[in-house]
Amino acid sequence: MTTGICLIACIPVRAEPDHKSEMVSQFLFGESFDVIDTQSGWLHIEMHYDHYRGWIPGNQAHLFEAAPRDMSGAVSRFVISDNLATLTDIATGNEFPVSAGSTFIRGEDGAMTVGGHRFLFSGNMATDNQQKVDKDICAFARIFLHTPYLWGGRSAFGIDCSGFAQIVFKLAGIRLPRDSHEQAKKGESIHLIHETKAGDLLFFDNEEGEINHVGILLNEGHIIHAHGKVRIDSVDHHGIFDGNRKAYTHKLRLIKRICGE
């Protein structure tokens, strides 16, 4: 099976092989995938990180018949934890921006390797296997404050509510599924809001009872979530309260505490 990797800031993942099709997710720099099928210059792929499937333009992917060693799951990885960072391609000298959540291997010489390519980077990073610490979850969440909402987004260029939760927990070394209704199946249920603690995930539903929103508890009474932009709002047992609109915007359905797996 052909394997590929993202070596640009991000690649849109679409529902169908068409640039006009809905964007359902994004690859970040350093994230890899398997190619399931091809169609008219498009690749039907499955992401290694969360097994999400979709279509990407073939001319934005870097493909391998035999993946380099630094794409092996056995190799310890690092994740960029700056909101935005600049990488320099050692071979060409070209610089380009990447988002928090981008993945790489750090060599002994300090250079980053991704898919056999080498880059320079001097910013902040987190390991992909660190233990969850509540204060770290909240600190990582704040990195994205004021990032614009973008359906299907997973980056500092634009992010949706479940993409936000997934990338924040990726920075803490914990894998979450891509979509909020799948994320809600993980972790330990917390039944009362006064039993919550910072870093818990709060899920919200629509009028049909379907989970359609997720946010991260910052402290008692405040949540950080992607709604228009990544923002901090008040929250209680009813849901999220928008102080500017003086109204509840999301109805609380359940609370989950996620531990590393």
Catalytic residue annotation: 161, 213, 225
| 3-class DSSP state of 141 | helix
What tokens appear for 29 in the block?
């720099």
- Which residues sit opposite 118 in a β-bridge? 113
What tokens appear for 126 in the block?
């987190």
Alpha carbon distance 86, 240 (integer Å) = 35
| 3-class DSSP state of 166 | helix
Kind and range of the H or E run holding 41: none
Alpha carbon distance 234, 108 (integer Å) = 45
**Which residue is associated with the tokens 């709002």?**
233
First to last CA, the chain: 28
What tokens appear for 252 in the block?
């609380």
Closest CA to 172 of 137, 223, 224, 214: 137
Residue 191, phi then psi, degrees to nearest 5? -90, -25
- Residues 105/78, Cβ–Cβ less than 8 Å: yes
